[in-house]
Amino acid sequence: MTTTTSPATVEEREAILSAVREYADTELAPFATERDEKHIFPREALHRGGELGLGGIYVREESGGTGLGRVDTVAIFEELAQGDPTLAAYISIHNMVAWMIDTYGDDAQRARWLPDLVEMAEFGSYCLTEPGAGSDAAAITTSARRDGDEYEITGVKQFISGAGEAGVYVVMARTGEASSGARGISAFLVPADSPGLSFGALEKKMGWHAQPTRQVILDGVRVPASAMLGDEGQGFAIAMSALNGGRLNIAACSLGGAQWALDRAVQYVQERVAFGDPLAEKQSILFTVADMRTELQAARLMVRDGAQAVDDHAPDATMRCAMAKRFATDAAFDIANRALQLHGGYGYLQDYGIERVVRDLRVHQILEGTNEIMRLIVGREMLRPAGSASMRSGS
C-alpha cells in the first residue's frame, strides 16, 4: 500500500512553517539546555506539538494526519531542529511509526493507534536494531513463535529511542527459520503494557539527552495474531520502506541544528572584539562563515532533491536520499563544530548551547544507516546495469 500525500500550496506551506517556527521558538528552544542537562523528556510539550499536527505529518488526512509530502516535511523538521535537534529527531521516529501503521496497518490497527499517535497523546518507538544486528538488520534474532491465535515474542532490541515512554512499539521479529534471512522477518505492534515487556537502564550518551534510549526486552511477550503489521514475512520490507523518509528527516534535523549554530556564530563574531577589531572584520573569519553558509545551502538543496525524489516515486530515490543523508549530516556536524571554534572557549561552555548541538548532531552520522552504509548504497546503485535502479521510494 502507498499512502497518498500532497504538497502544500505556497500559502499553506508558509502558514504551516510559521506555526512550527512559533512552536519551536516557544516550546523547544527556551528549555533545550535544561532538558539536555537534566535528561527531561517533555511529554506535555510534545503533546502540544501534536495539537499542531506534528504527530502525523505524512499520515493521510483520511487517517487523521496532515497528509503532507516529503518536500514539506523536511522543511518542517529543519524548523523543529532549530528549536531542539534532539526532540526534532524523536518526532521523526514517532512519525515513522505512525506512517507504518497508516501504510501497512488494517482498519482496526489504524483506529486503535493513530488517533493518539497523531495527537502525540501517546508515543511510538521503532524496534529493529539488536545488540548483534545493527547495519546488518536482516541478521536479527528476536523470534516470534506462533501459538494458536497468538505470537510469543522473545529477544532484545538495542538503542531504542523513546523506550519506556512510548505507548506502542513496532517490533521486527523473526517468524521464519534462522536461515530465512530478510524473508523470515515480520512486524508486530506491541503495546507498552504487554506482560513480559521491560526496558534496560537509560543509556549514558554523548548527546540526545532529552529523549530516552534503552534496550527493549521481550521475554515471552504474547500478542494476538491481529497485532501483526502487514503480512507474515513482510517485516523487513516494511522496515526498509521507511528508511528513505527517516534518512531525509534526520538530514533535515541536521540542517536545522547547523543553521542555529551558524546564526549564533555570525552574531558572536560581529560582537566579539579581538586585537582591537571585531572578529567579523578579519578576512579569515569572513571566509569561514561564507564557507559554512555555502555548504549548508548545498546540503539543504540535496535534502530537498531527495525529498522530491520520494514525492515523485523516482526510481533512483533511494540513492538520492542516501546521498543527501550522507552529505547533509557530515556537513552539518562540521558546520556546528566550526561554529563552536569561532566562539573560542565560550563555545565549550554549556551556557552558549553550541556544544550541545555539536553533541546532538554527531549521532546523525550513525543512525538511519551509518554514513559508510550510505556510501555503499550510492556506489552499488551507480554500478547497477542501466534501467535497474531501485524502485523503493520510502516513507
Span 283-296, average pLDDT: 97
Give the HSE-up count for residue 368: Cα atoms under 13 Å, Cβ half-sphere.
Answer: 33
Look at residue 394 in the predicted model and tell me its pLDDT. 45
Q: For 126-160, write each residue's pLDDT tens digit.
A: 999 999 887 787 889 999 999 999 999 999 999 99
Nearest to 357 by CA among 81, 75, 79, 27: 81
Cα–Cα distance for residue pair 161/247, rounded to 1 Å: 15
pLDDT exceeds 90 at position 395: no
Cα–Cα distance for residue pair 117/360, rounded to 1 Å: 25
For 256-280, b/e burial (b = at least 16 CB within 10 A) is: bbbbbbbebbbebbeebeeeeeebb
Tell me which DSSP letter residue 384 carries.
Answer: S
Look at residue 132 in the predicted model and tell me its pLDDT. 87
Is there a contact between 232 and 310 (Cβ–Cβ < 8 Å)? no
pTM for the complete prediction?
0.93
Domains and CATH numbers, the chain: 10-123 (1.10.540.10), 126-233 (2.40.110.10), 239-382 (1.20.140.10)
Is there a contact between 186 and 116 (Cβ–Cβ < 8 Å)? no
Q: For 32-47, write each residue's pLDDT tens digit.
A: 999 999 999 999 999 9
Q: For 238-264, write each residue's pLDDT tens digit.
A: 998 999 999 999 999 999 999 999 999
On average, the pLDDT of the chain sits at 94
Look up residue 52 and give its three cell numbers: 499542531
Residues noted as catalytic: 368
Look at residue 390 in the predicted model and tell me its pLDDT. 45
Is there a contact between 259 and 78 (Cβ–Cβ < 8 Å)? yes
